Chain A
Amino acid sequence: MKKQCVGMLLAGGEGKRLGLLTKDLAKPAVPFGGKYRIIDFTLSNCSNSGIQTVGVLTQYSPLVLHKHIGIGKPWDMDRQFDGLTILSPYTAKRGGSWYSGTADAIYQNIHYIDQYDPDYILVISGDHIYQMNYDDLIQHHEEKQSDATISVIEVPWEEASRFGILNTKDNLEIYEFDEKPKEPKNNLASMGIYIFNWKTLRSYLLDDAEQTDSDHDFGKDIIPAMLNDGKRMFAYRFEGYWKDVGTIQSYWEANMDLLEEDLSVSLNNKEWRTYSQDVNYPPQFLDSRAVVENSLINSGSWISGTVKNSILFQCVEVGTGTTINKSIIHPHVKIGKNCTIERAIIMENVVIPDNTVIDGTKETEPVVINDEYVEQLT
């Protein structure tokens, strides 16, 4: 069955810089925004953009991620012939291996893509928070008669050296890719979102797989090789909110950004819904001592304390006399009475005893609290 575009969603990364958050969990499965997981934003973008053939490449600690995605039902991707397919590393007659890089992950699934004989392939990753219509990207790609189109976002010049920068001509044609340049010539950063003509990419993937010294990575190998051969490559300028949640600080910031009013990522946007697995927990309960301001709270939660500038997932209990500020509380956390919690991320199922004080305001990054941390406290 022919498809115009197949999405390949890279969701196998470990996300080392997220520390404890990804100790037993793939980065795309990290809880986000009170009821979501990070990958929901990308999957919802696919669904809202009309891309319903999506391969999700998983590798690191995939149990929760697989369970969460399932057959793609929340994103309407439970289809008979296409829809969502989880693509994990596998063995075959020729042997088998782990995905050794982003390009290798696609290479090893060429047979999956070939089934749909697509014109284009959309390569995206499951660790960014943004709302984007990929159809606009495809149209831009077609208008420019491009071989590859890379979505870019303008970043402040002083931060440009932290990103993969695309140097472009006035018509947005890319002539150079600078990974974390010391002296940036441009401030258009790659968002890690690519559209390729499948035929073109396919041959590059086959070539790259032969190279023993290659990292099999899009940014390091495939894009430079295509530039080298003078392929038509254009940047697509994305305007809106986009955040890489690669570190604990940026994860925390991106969550706090949801509390701001003027963000273009709005969970309440009915035209661009963010879908996720939902659960049948009862409505949240606030008792007579509850004070809640500037916060997001999910169902099943029980609030008897003060919650400010925070995000609480489902079934969180906040005891009387407790104050929570600028924190992210993952599902099923129980916080006792008279606690003070500032700038912390408390992980799923952790129980915080009465009178606990957790203050992350003096740390460089917000503190991440798991069971071991709590054991050390007592």
Chain B
Amino acid sequence: MNTLMGLINLEHEHDFLEELTYFRCGAAAPFAGRYRLIDFTLSNMVKTRIEEVAVFTNTKYRSLMDHVGTGADWELARRHGGLFILPPDWNDPTDISRGDLRHFHNNRDYFHRSKADHVLVSGSQFVANTDFDEAFQHHLDTGADVTLVSVQLDKSLPEHVPQLRLETNEAGQVINLTNDQENKHAFTNVYIIKKEVLLRLVDQCIAFHKDHFLFHGIKENLHDLHAEYYQYEGYSFFVNSIESFFRHNMNLLDPDPYRELFFKNEYVRTKISNEPPVKYRETADVKDSLLANGSVIDGDVHNSVLFRGVKVKKGAVVKNSIILQRCIIEEDVHLENVILDKDVRISSGQTFIGSKDKPFVVAKRKQI
């Protein structure tokens, strides 16, 4: 059938957000006031009407599982299909597979049971609000084995360095993935692949003791595959470092990127909470900021992103900062260029100032 199934492959995503990934995988890192990074990919898959999504996860997945739950908030709690979180579960003593191939090998049933003939594979670091309908149509129209979703980089940013580049021939087919920084045609780590090709390449990789499906299964076989690309034109970015995390949160304080990301398309889904509306008290002074529900503001908040349930007490000043869920900022605290992870409490009168390029990051549940 000409339908898609989804796979979010987190196996090779290292803990890319320093203190924020001490206790959680990158995909579960909070972003933009009320989301987790995985929400964007997951929502995009749902918008593409994908009805079954598997997540290959390797370590620190407790917070990820807590966040996605049964998938109900993405309408993925289904009688058939829906969401499958697949942590490591290696029971087969004859298994010789390695790297993410172990996930493919041990979860082969997921692919077999589905009626879909194509798989949309993604990581969690490419952030956009879109569906992949056009990419899939292109994939079907060209009869490609694999279609890579790409973006044209208009400027060079540090987070672009690790992104592979697409080398194409005159016919517009992808012939290689390179590390050529001069090439601005970058791969998003999102691709659509025929299911039978995927399973064939998985077998091949395992037979050759390979450990990385994208590199060894796809990149090394591009000469044998019909590989197309689909260039995504909308607002998008990569989050793969604390620096890019900080900058892209801050960019959303500009009206245009905020509208592009959140209002141009159907809204991005996330775990539903039960927080009341934001309470601004008499002394509140809030400008150029994003605030999520459940927050109570008595102080000054400028140019900052506040997640759910943050308390900013009287006389406190929060500038150019990202404050994660349920932090408490006591009276007369001054914060600038700071990232506070969840449940941090800053006692009254303290001052913390980081630099724009190197924000001061405070790990979860610290009391300072």
Provide the residues of chain B in CB contact with A74, threshold 8 Å. Answer: 274
Give the docked Cα–Cα distance between A293 and B273 (Å). 24
Interface positions of B from 246 to 296, Cβ below 8 Å from A: 255, 258, 261-263, 267-270, 272-274, 276-294, 296
Give the docked Cα–Cα distance between A290 and B293 (Å). 18
Asked if B33 is at the interface (CB within 8 A of a chain A CB), the reply is yes
Provide the residues of chain A in CB contact with B267, threshold 8 Å. Answer: 279-282, 300
Provide the residues of chain B in CB contact with A275, threshold 8 Å. Answer: 274
Inter-subunit contact B288/A286 (CB<8 Å): yes
Inter-subunit contact A295/B270 (CB<8 Å): no
Q: How far is the CB of B282 from chain A (nearest CB, A)?
A: 5
Q: How far is the CB of A56 from chain B (nearest CB, A)?
A: 20
Inter-subunit contact B292/A299 (CB<8 Å): yes
Inter-subunit contact A268/B294 (CB<8 Å): yes
Interface residues on B, range: 35 or more
Give the docked Cα–Cα distance between A246 and B274 (Å). 26
Asked if B32 is at the interface (CB within 8 A of a chain A CB), the reply is yes
Give the docked Cα–Cα distance between A299 and B270 (Å). 13
Provide the residues of chain B in CB contact with A286, threshold 8 Å. Answer: 286-289, 291
Interface residues on A, range: 35 or more
Provide the residues of chain B in CB contact with A284, threshold 8 Å. Answer: 278, 290-292
Inter-subunit contact A283/B33 (CB<8 Å): yes
Inter-subunit contact A34/B272 (CB<8 Å): no
Inter-subunit contact B288/A297 (CB<8 Å): no
Inter-subunit contact B262/A293 (CB<8 Å): no
Inter-subunit contact B305/A293 (CB<8 Å): no
Provide the residues of chain B in CB contact with A268, threshold 8 Å. Answer: 276, 279, 294, 296
Inter-subunit contact A293/B281 (CB<8 Å): yes
Encode contact with B along A334-373: 1 for CB under 8 Å, 0 otherwise. Answer: 0000000000000000000000000000000000000000
Which residue, A33, A34, A313, has most C-beta atoms of chain B within 10 A?
A34
Asked if A285 is at the interface (CB within 8 A of a chain B CB), the reply is yes
Q: Which of B33, B262, B286, B294 contacts A290 (CB 8 A)?
A: B286
Provide the residues of chain A in CB contact with B262, threshold 8 Å. Answer: 282
Provide the residues of chain A in CB contact with B285, threshold 8 Å. Answer: 291
Give the docked Cα–Cα distance between A48 and B170 (Å). 66
User: Which B residues are closer than 8 A to A by beta carbons?
Assistant: 32-34, 73, 255, 258, 261-263, 267-270, 272-274, 276-294, 296, 305-306
User: Which A residues are closer than 8 A to B by beta carbons?
Assistant: 33-35, 74, 267-268, 273-276, 278-300, 307, 311-313
A/B interface sample: 15 pairs, CB < 8 A: A34-B277, A268-B294, A276-B274, A280-B269, A280-B270, A282-B263, A283-B32, A283-B292, A289-B287, A290-B286, A293-B280, A294-B280, A296-B276, A297-B278, A312-B277
